[in-house]
Structure 1
């Protein structure tokens, strides 16, 4: 019997809606960062304390220099002993600063490595418990973001931002305390300049989230337009539509530029104020002008002005890392919220007392399913698929074919009714055992970045080389593999390397044959192939499906004319059921689809 599958996706039956409610991406949950950091909280506290002590020690040399200048200018005749005392204090402060800085950095990076490892393990284990349907929708992008970008943002918080924030605050407090000790009016003048810098920064950042989200959206459209042009380059060149595609790219770039320009227009004055008041030159100017004025009226000693020139001028340099660190913490909170949102997704329920099926027949018992809880993608379908038979599922695009087939391996759980294997509800079977009882072959081929042999061996880890070879022979791919540069040891990438589409598909069929699973689900396995490749894959499928319980999603009806039963779906419901000849005799939907395809073929 020849089998094929539907090239069309049940888009109407599988909307982007999810079974659970999601918050908008980037919406930081309060406390998400703290909850994820709970296992390393003692390390973070210790790191913060060391960073504070290091920063306090780092200000000591500047204070020492200021005090030496004050001593020389105030009492030059007896300043020698005082100067040397402060030299020793400054040197000790510098040495202590270096030691504490190294220890703080080591502890921070140790804590970072520990929590990143812990979170990666938690994510991977949680992913193993999520329903497969989530991965077939938008799951892969979420996983990639969580495992790379979000963890990187959290790394910045632990390894860098925490120490920078703590250090900057400590420097401000320590230096500010010393300046207020030297002279209160001058300290207030310095505080006023830095306060203006903080106010300008606050104003410039008030709408940051809105503008960043707009830029991210525009950047996404640029990426989409770029991929569209790259992936469709043959069609674009063949039909001369490059101008239209490039216009979409150009529009996306212009939108990004406009979004960026709008942000710049809004913050240009406040940003300039931040740079102006946060510059060393601004502090130096204010300290010099104010100090000279106070000296002129006799309210400030020249030695005290030197102390302010030594200590206060470097304060903006200490604040800038705090500004960067604050932004890092904000990004870290967003990353933590994304990771926590992923970890909070409902896993696939596992049975408390697992049951073992008594056979491999499949039964759909009044099965209904909805993606959004409102519209039924599958509506009260009942069917029995005895062991050793082939059941074809056909129907118009959006009829619910892929949805129904995906319920069998529990890509989603049914909303109503039950699916049984060997008389046992699939929800009472351990997920690992359920998937082990099936071979799933899809149009979208998934290969590993590994050798050809290991890509086949995925079907049954631990299989020896001879078993792999026999599976490849049965899948009509052995000769192709032998012709590769290193045969079965030839490395492949995710795209299959030099293998054609049909050859990649036969490789996945070899994987399924090696597994030896008694139930086979074929979903779009050959639809995108040329006739020669399709014929080779059909021969491989014959070796895979022999004696198995087979479910086939079919679009080319002539390939499933020999099926034991055909289920005809329409708008999620079972419209017709029977063998090919019976359905043609009825003159219903199947007969009309057959006539339409035969007319096109003719």
Structure 2
């Protein structure tokens, strides 16, 4: 697929290999790149946290010195002790002040980073092709905007300072202990080295195990969805006990895998935690220190600092597991956020053009989702103003893809689509969506009032205009039944049925009043009562407009001005209903297959023509308007 170059901006990056290799330095990691706007404040926070950690060790050193003066046999008057007491108090207050300042500064920097990232994401997502969002769904966007940004908060506001603290304090403690007795200092390092060794053994193969862990969870999720979706079918055929077998098998498989993983690492991981536990380190130093004291190799006063500071030397290993997990989670979140920010956006024209009329033309259009396999090939098609054109064909023939090019859900890989003689890529997005509207089967309503949902295309519309369009869309009476009428907020305690939501979206399209309309047959899954109301609403919406219809039931497009048959991404037939039946081609085959499988909804007389559908009535309305 030939993608259009994105407009240069703060959210875009060069994808040119030559440009990437032009510099001598490798590009920064995604994490560093995202943190760049606040890296100065984070550096200051790290420095303050380091000072706080170092200052936090000083009171212990002062206490050990006091203990030495008190037990050393020499006079220990106030002139000797008070300076040490003062030092301990000042250092403690300094640690408290610097730690508080570091936490506040890191949180302020993180708050600004979250705001900046979410604004960048909102701007960038607003410029993405709509097809990119509908294909991937909203899960990716939600994860980036909410979950991943929150993961960065944990990393920058908490984990970063914790890592600085647990690495800095032991260094000062160990340095001081070496000045007291280098032999006992070496003993205090033994638990740390042993913890590192055991932890590395426990983590051996963790990458592969984590991959299998994720795959096992995925199998459980897939089995759960299948279980929930298919249980009714299984029960209908008397196989209720079979419905949950795959789910149970997946959960048992996960339990076996996880139990095996835990058993394989239980001894080493538990040992890694135990050898650096403060109680174990204190016990080791007490026993070895007692031997040293009784042997005359050191004094009791010299043992005191090891009992106070020795456990702090091995402290980092006690928290390394959770911190590593948080760092990895932050790095993964940064990668996902960066990938979304680097997704190519729709190009905005350097010299915007305004269409002259509403003639739609496709010339030599080809399109591919992956850049390799063309879904559409060399499509030529004209949509004359005030006509109804229907797209039909077997599943996977490219109907929805072709229709998605008109509202520019995607850009073509080859050829061009024009509106009023102007390439869609040269029309500003705001101007394009004033002229091209769409009504799809999958209706999206905002968590806002009914009136605001209808006003989406025209925020300045009056209440009278909103009500008029709601009446035309056959949704006015249902709105009045809601607790607060048009002021009722949707998405909370109030929800609409599928047919009601569809009619609300039709009211929205009526208010927007776009002269070109793309219609994915909205009644395909509606019940008969909803279908009748939706067809009435669609008839009001389609009258007088240029209409492109994706037809699933051929009986709904018999009166269309032109029926276009797509097969394997190519137009193989086009004409009116009677002409295509007479040609005895693919359309006639599809028509006969649908008539055999599901007769038109009539009163039971196979010779009687079906009731006029929304498209049929729209075609009649358009022709009558043209005749007048």
Normalised by the length of structure 2, the TM-score is 0.88
Residues in 2 aligned to 1:330 and 1:30: alpha-carbon distance in whole angstroms: 17
Cα displacement (A) at 1:431: 2.3
Residues in 1 aligned to 2:132 and 2:393: alpha-carbon distance in whole angstroms: 24
| Contact 1:225–1:245 (Cα < 8 Å) also in 2 | no
| Contact 2:391–2:566 (Cα < 8 Å) also in 1 | yes
Cα deviation, 1:195-218, whole Å, max 9, x if unaligned, reads 111222222234333322322232
Cα deviation, 1:260-304, whole Å, max 9, x if unaligned, reads 223313322320221121111221222122222222332212211
Which residue does 1:411 correspond to in 2?
409
Residues in 2 aligned to 1:307 and 1:441: alpha-carbon distance in whole angstroms: 76
Give unmatched runs, 5+ long, in structure 2: 1-14, 16-26, 600-628
Cα displacement (A) at 1:487: 1.5
Residues in 2 aligned to 1:121 and 1:240: alpha-carbon distance in whole angstroms: 54
Of residues 160, 164, 167 in structure 2, which corresponds to 1:166? Answer: 164
Q: How many residues align?
A: 574
Residues in 2 aligned to 1:140 and 1:484: alpha-carbon distance in whole angstroms: 28
Q: 1:81 to 1:228 in 2, by over 3 A?
A: farther
Q: 1:53 to 1:190 in 2, by over 3 A?
A: same
| Contact 1:280–1:313 (Cα < 8 Å) also in 2 | yes
Q: 1:83 to 1:327 in 2, by over 3 A?
A: farther
| Contact 2:407–2:437 (Cα < 8 Å) also in 1 | no
Which residue does 2:573 correspond to in 1?
576
Cα deviation, 1:122-181, whole Å, max 9, x if unaligned, reads 111111111111111125221111112211211111111111111111101111111111
| Contact 1:368–1:415 (Cα < 8 Å) also in 2 | yes
Which residue does 1:26 correspond to in 2?
none
Report matched runs for 1:349-364 at 5 Å: 349-364=347-362
Report matched runs for 1:71-82 at 5 Å: 71-78=69-76, 80-82=78-80
Which residue does 2:389 correspond to in 1?
391
Runs of 4+ in 1 over 6 A off after TM superposition: none
- State whether structure 2 residue 299 is matched by structure 1 residue 301: yes
- State whether structure 2 residue 342 is matched by structure 1 residue 344: yes
* Aligned Cα root-mean-square deviation (Å): 2.0
| Contact 2:41–2:105 (Cα < 8 Å) also in 1 | yes
Cα deviation, 1:465-501, whole Å, max 9, x if unaligned, reads 111101101111111111222211222118x944222
Q: 1:433 to 1:589 in 2, by over 3 A?
A: same
Residues in 2 aligned to 1:317 and 1:303: alpha-carbon distance in whole angstroms: 23
- State whether structure 2 residue 138 is matched by structure 1 residue 140: yes
Cα displacement (A) at 1:231: 5.2
Indicate the structure whose relative CO is greater, using CA pairs within 8 Å and at least 6 residues apart. 1
Give unmatched runs, 5+ long, in structure 1: 1-20, 22-28
Report matched runs for 1:362-377 at 5 Å: 362-377=360-375
Residues in 1 aligned to 2:177 and 2:241: alpha-carbon distance in whole angstroms: 65
Report matched runs for 1:33-52 at 5 Å: 33-52=31-50
- State whether structure 2 residue 213 is matched by structure 1 residue 215: yes
- State whether structure 2 residue 364 is matched by structure 1 residue 334: no
| Contact 2:196–2:317 (Cα < 8 Å) also in 1 | no
Which residue does 1:7 correspond to in 2?
none
Residues in 2 aligned to 1:238 and 1:499: alpha-carbon distance in whole angstroms: 29
Report matched runs for 1:245-284 at 5 Å: 245-284=243-282
Of residues 496, 501, 504 in structure 1, which corresponds to 2:501? Answer: 504
Cα displacement (A) at 1:55: 0.7
Which residue does 2:184 correspond to in 1?
186
Cα displacement (A) at 1:321: 3.9
Normalised by the length of structure 1, the TM-score is 0.91
Cα deviation, 1:510-536, whole Å, max 9, x if unaligned, reads 011110011110114211111221111
Q: 1:559 to 1:434 in 2, by over 3 A?
A: same
Which residue does 1:561 correspond to in 2?
558
Higher mean displacement: 267-276 or 199-208: 199-208
Which residue does 2:596 correspond to in 1?
599
Cα displacement (A) at 1:324: 2.8
Cα deviation, 1:1-43, whole Å, max 9, x if unaligned, reads xxxxxxxxxxxxxxxxxxxx9xxxxxxx971111110000110
Cα displacement (A) at 1:436: 2.7
Residues in 1 aligned to 2:562 and 2:465: alpha-carbon distance in whole angstroms: 33
Q: 1:233 to 1:436 in 2, by over 3 A?
A: farther
Report matched runs for 1:102-117 at 5 Å: 102-117=100-115
SS at match of 1:413: coil
Residues in 2 aligned to 1:470 and 1:111: alpha-carbon distance in whole angstroms: 50
Residues in 2 aligned to 1:554 and 1:330: alpha-carbon distance in whole angstroms: 48
SS at match of 2:416: strand
Higher mean displacement: 439-448 or 138-147: 138-147
| Contact 2:230–2:243 (Cα < 8 Å) also in 1 | no
